[in-house]
Amino acid sequence: MSQQEKRLTTIALALAVISLLLGGYALVVLQSLSSSVSDLQATVSQLKTSIDQLTARVSKLEGAAAAPPPASPVKLVVIGPWAGKEADYFQAVINAYKKTHPNVEIEYRTMRAEDVAAVMPVQFAAGIAPGDVIFGWAWWIVKMGKEGHIVDVSGLINENDYIPGIVDQVKDGNKIYGVPFTMWLKPGFWYRKSFFQKYGLSEPKSYDEFVSLLEKIKGIPGVKNPIATGDGVGWPMSDVTEHFLIAYGGPQLQLDLISGKVRFTDPRVRDIFANKLVPLISKRYFSEPIEWTTAVTKWWAGEYGIYFMGTWITGMVDDPKDLDFFPLPEARGVVGGADYAFVPKYSRNPDAALDFLKFLATEGQVVHASVPSGKIPTWKKASVEALWPPMQSVYRKIAGKGMSILPDLDDSVGGDWQKLFWDQLKLLWVNPGALDSVLKTLEASQPRP
């Protein structure tokens, strides 16, 4: 190495060290700057919240009139869980809004609640939001609201106009972080009327009759299993499990499991699993878990006799008139829940977003329930006659049996436990002998009251 090369190498090394030191210093400065900016943002955000609250109070005093349509063109990005046909039904709501708000352009993007919960906390922490109106899980909305990322909408809707308890899911003290949209129900086992007629089957009136029905379906040529088991992320199995818990433990058991007062290792819970659900899995009355939308097609084609699913199934089959359902005969409650929407504090058009949010919580529900979305409104001012006809009969059947509407167990508990619940049920379905281990695992992670 020549003298000059040596000198250059030394200079290069010295520069490298200096650059690293400078880089480090720059990072420290940037971090402190970013922390100052965050503090400033928090202060501004607090101020904005106070102004929002004041505005809300003033609106209440003035009769909470909806904001006038914006004079200049505004674009809103709405993020919701619906895709395919379901997205078309939601598009009907957007179209209805645009009729009265021609200056508002709305772009709808599909994102599952799981992904919203996974992706957005990081974006919120960075002070950005990918949408102006976003649908998500109620527990997650409250969590983000508490962390200061969501606009408090307590002045936007009147709680008394909604099905009791439905707004509570997105409340924290006096603050309301989201609005309820339409509601789904998970009312029972769906069947094709034509299938039942063809094979002389009828709805059961007791657990024993239910088992006899399954045995009869099992004997029908071409039927793989009497009950189709939906799979995917895992919720279809948790839905049918909850239905058994409500039917044989009563509605209060569901509420106590949610609050954690009753543990999963409680003898009452074990008894329901061991004597009602697991025997049916062991006897292969339930199919192996199949991707849930594929299961709809196979069940409709007659490979399975009945299928436990939510009311949205009414919009997924070829002929909803051929569709009927029955809950487990002893059930005195069914799970129902709403989709919830919120406005992040980082929305670029908060006023227009809040106006659309209010529409979703009120008239938008009527539009959504009038198309084959398989939903009913949570807004009490919507009339039953406005519902899509197949949903009118579902609604009347549930109401006729005097059933209470209960919150979804795993959606209410949420967090990691929800995933664990789904995963352990997948295990139980293929290995019913693991019951005690499954219950023990669920209990160990179950939140305490």
With contacts defined by CB under 8 A, how many residues of the chain interact with other proteins?
37
Tokens in use for 352? Answer: 């227009």
Nearest 10 degrees: Cα torsion 399, 404, 409, 414: 80
83-91, 182-190, 227-235, 259-267 -> range binding other proteins (CB under 8 A): 227-235
Q: Which is nearer to other proteins, 36 or 294 (CB)?
A: 294
The pattern of x and - marking residues 118 through 137 that bind other proteins according to CB under 8 A reads xx-xx---------------
Pick from 154, 349, 378, 441: which binds other proteins (CB under 8 A)? 441
Provide the minimum distance between the beta carbon of 95 and other proteins in the complex, in angstroms, as a whole number: 32
Of 168, 208, 215, 288, which lies in the binding site for other proteins, with binding defined by CB under 8 A? 288
Contact 326, 247 (CB under 8 A): no
d(CA 126, CA 28): 18
220 binds other proteins (CB under 8 A): no
Place of tokens 């004079």: 71
Q: Figure out which of the listed residues 347, 362, 424, 446 binds other proteins, where binding follows CB under 8 A.
A: 424
Q: Which of 85, 348, 401, 426 binds other proteins (CB under 8 A)?
A: 426
C-alpha separations of 351 from 305, 343, 346, 357, 386 in Å: 50, 10, 12, 10, 29
- Encode burial over 186-208: b for 16+ CB neighbours within 10 A, e otherwise: bbbbbbbeebbeeeebebbeebe
Q: How far is CA 168 from CA 59, 159, 175, 178, 227, in A?
A: 22, 9, 10, 10, 35
Residue 24 lies near other proteins (rule: CB under 8 A) = yes
Residue holding tokens 């949010």? 357
Binding of other proteins at residue 431 (CB under 8 A)?
A: yes
Residues of this chain, 391-420, that bind other proteins according to CB under 8 A? 415-416, 419-420
Interaction between residue 67 and other proteins (CB under 8 A): no
Query: What residues have CB less than 8 Å from 372, skipping those under 6 apart?
Result: 85, 89, 314, 315, 320, 388, 390
**Could you tell me the smallest distance in angstroms from the CB atom of residue 271 to other proteins?**
22
Q: What residues line the site for other proteins (CB under 8 A)?
A: 8, 11-12, 15-16, 19-20, 23-24, 27, 117-119, 121-122, 231, 233-234, 288-289, 415-416, 419-420, 422-424, 426-427, 429-431, 434, 438, 441, 444-445
